Structure 1
Amino acid sequence: MLAIIGGSGMDQLPGLKLDQQRAVQTPYAAEPVVVQAGTLEGASQDVAFLPRHGADHAVPPHRINYRANIFALHKLAVSGVLAVNAVGGLSPTMGPGVIAIPDQIIDYTWGREHTFFDGSISGIESPDQFSDTVAHIDFTEPYDADLRQLLIDAAVEQGVVIQTHGTYAATQGPRLETPAEVRRLLRDGSDLVGMTGMPEAALAREIGLPYACVALSVNWAAGISDELITMDSIRQVLEQGMGSVRQILQAAIRLQD
């Protein structure tokens, strides 16, 4: 069973026939993580769905309990994670409405709980690979190659034009970036900028979950365009672009059958 982590614009998953709702207790939060599970329209394989910002989109990027979310999906024994991220466009090919399957990521976040290897789950039921000993995961390819190819194949099948590569810059948020910060991101080689890509991707790697990202560009980053960045324009792109993202996800789940 694959899991989908929904971001901005995907707090609900249309087409999901809900069979069960699991409240998964984790060592990282007093409250359980609520994960929906069921069958996605057009596919026979079950899928799990977890809204990253909460069901009412009330949790800002820097307050998301990434460890609890990833640990909960691990406990449900999902086979991999397809993460949906709304991002800003940096490079010329990543304008509003473009969907990308990034292959690299740069982490600019700070103060987030970004690892399981800190002794926090000592003495409780936990995966064998966790201990008080620091582990240095190989993050040469931060996104799983097979899941990336699955998403690319799904897009081709659906006739959805995508960018098959890109570097995701993960910033702290919740504010948007300044033009000076955007210039730095471009100098560093970034193509997209978002606020939720890390530590989610690294935590999935630590716990052994294959992980890939579908990124929808919803605006030009600050200073790239003369147009003002407004929530109304972002919502408009989200409404249009998430339809194509859902097509890709539905096809990916079906191709996994």
Structure 2
Amino acid sequence: MTVKIAIIGGTGVYDPNILENIHEEQLETEYGRTLVKIGEYKGKKVAFMARHGADHSVPPHLVNYRANIAGLKQLGVKNIFATAAVGSLNQSMKAEDFVFVDQFLDFTKVRKHTFFEGGENGVVHLDVTDPYCPELRRLLMEVSGNLGLTAHNGGTYVCTEGPRFETPAEIRMFARLGGDLVGMTSVPEVVLAREVQMCYATICMVTNYAAGIAEYKLSHQEVVEVMSKNVANLRRLIMETIESLEEGRTCSCQISHVDPV
């Protein structure tokens, strides 16, 4: 079975029932085991993966990103739509806005960031000039406009280790470095997807302003509540984008951007 489209659901996006004829598969990879649910939407096969588990039991720094991406690669996935709940450092990106980020700043510390660690796989240097697929972002922007959603095409995602939230001092630093949004999951997921020639787009939903910008202390419950309030719009955006996506499309993301040593 070949599945060319995948959804990676982040916080607040655990329900695969936007699909029909769903079945679950357990995928064995050299990096570990991962679960995926496969269904159909408008005649297209779609894989759904809950990044944190169906019960949100896996914290961001312990997600097995390599097993997840390797498992999707086994299925034949070429296009990934990943969702992310984020805090905003940018006053123009407000709660419930969607942002299709185009750059990242990596402040993670303990994660495995690559499939290439020497040995049989060799050592490579990946070009990440455009880490998030420009074509998927363009399509998401077009669909969001048709749906009347407030969306921003482009933005810099600051990825922190978590699971704690950031300090106001860290947020001030990130803003000075050009960060627009802060979250805990985009890296290394986007990097791994690019290493195996997948088109990858992150659909960020702003849930709050970050620490020191918000006038109150942050809580995970607030994030979940905002996601729940706007999840119907998120589903419509994803599914109508999938409906518009040409499965046989080619893209520069699907060409190797690794420079072997």
Q: 2, 10, 15: which is aligned to 1:7?
A: 10
Amino acid across the alignment from 2:241:
A
Contact kept? 1:18, 1:36, Cα under 8 Å: no
TM-score by length of 2: 0.89
Contact kept? 2:10, 2:50, Cα under 8 Å: yes
Within 5 A, what are the aligned runs for 1:56-95? 56-95=55-94
Structure 1 match to 2:133: 144
Q: Which has the higher strand share?
A: 2
Within 5 A, what are the aligned runs for 1:66-215? 66-119=65-118, 122=120, 131-132=121-122, 134-215=123-204
Amino acid across the alignment from 1:163:
H
Structure 1, unaligned stretches of length 5 or more? 123-130
- Give the match's secondary structure for 1:49: strand
Deviations 1:218-256 (A, max 9, x none): 111000021232333322211112221111101011102
Structure 1 match to 2:258: none
Distance 2:21 2:112 in 1: 31
Paired positions, count = 243
Amino acid across the alignment from 2:225:
Q
* Percent of aligned positions that are identical: 40
- Give the match's secondary structure for 1:85: strand
Amino acid across the alignment from 1:53:
H
Distance 1:15 1:183 in 2: 39
Out of 237-246 and 84-93, give the one that drifted further: 237-246
Structure 2 match to 1:249: 238
Distance 2:183 2:21 in 1: 29
Contact kept? 1:158, 1:251, Cα under 8 Å: no
Out of 147-156 and 15-24, give the one that drifted further: 15-24
TM-score by length of 1: 0.91
Q: 236, 239, 242: which is aligned to 2:225?
A: 236
Structure 2 match to 1:37: 38
Amino acid across the alignment from 1:27:
E
Return structure 1 stretches of 4+ with deviation > 4 angstroms.
Answer: none
Shift of 1:44: 2.3
Contact kept? 2:85, 2:207, Cα under 8 Å: yes
